Structure 1
Amino acid sequence: MSKDGIFLRELERGDLSTINAWRADRSLVSLLGGNFRHVGREIDDKWFDAYLGSRANNVRLAVCMASSGALIGVTYLLGIDWLNRSAEFSIQIGAESARGRGMGEAAARSILAHAFTDLNLHRVSLDVLEGNARAIALYEKLGFRTEGLHRQAVFKDGQYLNVVSMALLSTDFAEPSSAPVGD
């Protein structure tokens, strides 16, 4: 069992119905940079097929409960630029029962360790809605630094919202110590 209660695995076609249900959750989508859209199964299948064809530059992982294997979220490294050693990061804990329990932080730390240790990336960036204080606090806790503000960059729920750009360098990323307490 994972010490954080979760494990990551590559996304599978069988995950699509759960992910689609999260896309239909307006309260969840309201926290994300993307807009709400109705997405049918055929579109999901094409999206997954496109991912399979672009795996060389994209990592899409399922966040699963260690105890049951249940899918609770997703986390991605997208648009990997192997020359500049950079990628775009995103995470979504779709299962409401798993939110606010540290599982998003554990998943983020795991994929960032993968980015910097296994993939040898140097820079991971993200965009987050300015009003998503909980996500921004998590990203800052992980070591991300604010690099800029895109004013009124996203139209959601009838209004334009600001987007904060953040990034984390491999030299700033610190994995939690695995040393036993008291050492």
Structure 2
Amino acid sequence: MRDFYLREISRQDQKTINEWRNNNDLISLLGAPFRYIDESIDSAWLDNYFSNRSNCVRLAVCQHGSNDIIGAVYLLSIDWISRSCEFAIWIGDVEFRGNGVGTFATEGALKHAFLDLNLNRVYLTVLEENEAARALYKKVGFSEEGKHRQAVFKEGKYMNMIQMSILKNEFSLSN
């Protein structure tokens, strides 16, 4: 999937990210609850990220020939002693879901985590109902570690979250 590339998120991405964060259909796929978020909140969020980048990496997924963001992949809460971090991804542009962009972005972020940042473990939580995401994570080498029962409240009900992780020695560098 060489039609895409990763770059650090930038101020130009703020409007699109804010639109995604206010899209209930998109947020329904994620562990976070839906909340209306004013653009000024996302502006402050980006300001905070740009001034505190030592423990997280936030990357935009873009299509070659355009600098427009179509998705984002994050390495969060980097623990430099335990050499671990939390992984998060979203493909905000519906047109690009289900055609390998998520695999490209996940593998790219894992390569960065393991080869550039020298991390040893990357973990995530995913909605139990999100079969497409779970299949993607298993495809690139994540293993299920357990279940957080009724861990989030979304759309009027409690939902389970699945904990997954991948270790550096489990990640195929041929990806």
TM-score w.r.t. length of structure 1: 0.93
Aligned counterparts of 2:151 and 2:58: Cα–Cα separation in 1 = 25
Are 1:122 and 2:113 an aligned pair?
no
Aligned counterparts of 2:59 and 2:66: Cα–Cα separation in 1 = 17
Return the offset for 1:52. Answer: 1.4
* Alignment partner, residue 140 of structure 2: 142
Unaligned runs of 5+ in 1: 178-183
Look up the equivalent residue of 1:82 and give its one-letter code: W
Look up the equivalent residue of 1:175 and give its one-letter code: L
Q: How many residues align?
A: 175
The runs of at least 4 consecutive aligned structure 1 residues that moved more than 3 Å come to none
Unaligned runs of 5+ in 2: none
Query: Secondary structure of 1:51's partner?
Result: helix
Are 1:71 and 2:72 an aligned pair?
no
Look up the equivalent residue of 2:129 and give its one-letter code: G
Matches within 5 A, 1:15-30: 15-30=13-28
Aligned counterparts of 2:125 and 2:51: Cα–Cα separation in 1 = 25
Matches within 5 A, 1:2-151: 3-151=1-149
* Alignment partner, residue 173 of structure 2: 175
* Alignment partner, residue 181 of structure 1: none
Look up the equivalent residue of 2:52 and give its one-letter code: S
Look up the equivalent residue of 2:24 and give its one-letter code: R
Look up the equivalent residue of 1:146 and give its one-letter code: E
Residue pair 1:152, 1:163 contacting (<8 A) in 2 also: yes
Deviations 1:6-52 (Å, cap 9, x if unpaired)? 11111101101001111121111100000111111110111011111
| RMSD value, Cα | 1.0
Residue pair 2:13, 2:68 contacting (<8 A) in 1 also: no
TM-score w.r.t. length of structure 2: 0.97
Residue pair 1:126, 1:167 contacting (<8 A) in 2 also: yes
